[in-house]
Amino acid sequence: MKVLILGGDGYLGWPTAMHFSSKGHEVAVLDNYMRRNLARETDMEILYQTPNLHERCKIWKEHSGQDIGVYIGDLCDWSFVNSVFAEFKPDTIIHYAEQPSAPYSMLNADTARLTLNNNIGATGNVIFAMKEHCPDAHLIKLGTMGEYGTPNIDIEEGWLEVEHKGRSQKFLYPRQAGSLYHTTKVMDTDLLWFYVRTWGLRVTDLMQGPVYGIFTDENQVDERLLPCFAYDEIFGTVLNRFVVQAVAGYPLTVYGKGGQTRGYLNIKDTLQCLLLAAENPADAGELKIYNQLTETFTVNELAEKVQVAGKSIGLDVEVKSIENPRKELEEHYYNPASTGLLELGLKPNFLTDDVLAEIMEKVINHKDAIDSNRIFRGVKWN
């Protein structure tokens, strides 16, 4: 397959590029370095610096012999998008290219506007470019489990059969996201579903939970191939943050009661899921939706696991509940279905003490780079 990875510089984009390249696919990555720039602007730098995309592709070629193409530019710029699609003509497009942080989207009116304009504008341009240059290509879009929020009923895999006054129809499962960032993903899904119905596009929308980890099958040969690893309050996700906090001797920042439950997965499983989705494309005029997670945990359970794993390598890890800066339920029902990807062949890498200790040991090597001021600043939802 010719695979174009949008957001190829990100935490998941670069590992996905290497994974597809290692399987013999022709890969190109596209990015405008927005995440790097926003991290710099907010002084939320990652744990270790990563080479730029041109440099990473050269390093990957030295190790694998495979080329990965690079496009640097903004998906909201139509002339750029138009020229990339005209030149590369992808069979599969993997779309990660969005402002990815819930706290960033809630910082102020400017960051909210950037999130809205970027995320919806980029997805719109991808749709228009597909129609123009590759209407039969398969788009795999990264959505989020956060689109569903935390409803008081079971979460189905994308769709819900609704019976009303003796008639029934299948609709998108109700969405009620908990941040502006998550809401832009709801809007993306609506946009995609409209053009799937109207233009017959092929789309898979992956509702992914928070991802953790560093290591993949492709990045162990060279430090410089590791993904960007954020631990700060804005761009870091909870488990990666807890691991860094444990190493830094910073009490784990459980927000509020800590009963918030989410569906988590190892970065290795994200790569498996993407490959499975690509190998099993949606039909023309079909929107496939998978819930991409392997296990659910409360924040308190994650903190306890990090505490235990820390102890096994000699770290004394403290846990501290702090006032929740977000507006979210701290105790709630949570039962999402997630059988679709398992049926396609996903073999989960579960969160064991060993997995946690392995990430912790890597973080220990960079302990001196941890800046405690980045761990908690209290970005409020109001």
Residue numbers of the site for ligand USQ (CB under 6 A)? Answer: 100-102, 144-146, 182, 209-210, 237-238, 241, 253-255, 260, 262, 299, 326, 328
Amino acid at residue number 168: S
Which CB atom, from 89 or from 380, has the smaller least distance to ligand USQ? 380
Dihedral sign for Cα 284, 289, 293, 299, please.
Answer: positive
| SS3 category, 102 | helix
Rounded least distance, CB 252 to ligand USQ, Å? 8
Catalytic hit among 92, 111, 144, 216: 144
Rounded least distance, CB 239 to ligand USQ, Å? 7
Which CB atom, from 137 or from 359, has the smaller least distance to ligand USQ? 359
Which CB atom, from 7 or from 69, has the smaller least distance to ligand USQ? 7
Rounded least distance, CB 204 to ligand USQ, Å? 16
Catalytic hit among 11, 148, 181, 250: 181
Instruction: Dig out the tokens for 255 from the structure.
Output: 């927000």
| SS3 category, 70 | strand
Which CB atom, from 69 or from 210, has the smaller least distance to ligand USQ? 210
Catalytic hit among 50, 141, 148, 185: 185
Pairing of strands 286-292, 319-322: unpaired
Instruction: Dig out the tokens for 315 from the structure.
Output: 């770290």
Contact 91, 2 (CB under 8 A): yes
For residue 185, indicate whether it is catalytic.
yes
* CB-closest chain residue to ligand USQ: 146
Burial (Cβ within 10 Å: 0-12, 13-18, ≥19) of residue 14: buried
Contact 160, 173 (CB under 8 A): yes
Which CB atom, from 45 or from 70, has the smaller least distance to ligand USQ? 45
For residue 144, indicate whether it is catalytic.
yes
Rounded least distance, CB 55 to ligand USQ, Å? 25
Distances (CA, A) of 369 to 231, 244, 297: 11, 11, 29
In angstroms, the CA 310 to CA 359 distance is: 11
- Tokens 């969405």, residue? 175
Q: Which of 274, 244, 191, 250 is nearest to 46 (CA)?
A: 244
DSSP line for 269-316: HHHHHHHHHHHSPPPTTEEEEEEE-SEEEEHHHHHHHHHHHHHHTT--
Which CB atom, from 301 or from 328, has the smaller least distance to ligand USQ? 328
Rounded least distance, CB 300 to ligand USQ, Å? 9
Rounded least distance, CB 241 to ligand USQ, Å? 5
Residues with catalytic function? 144, 181, 185
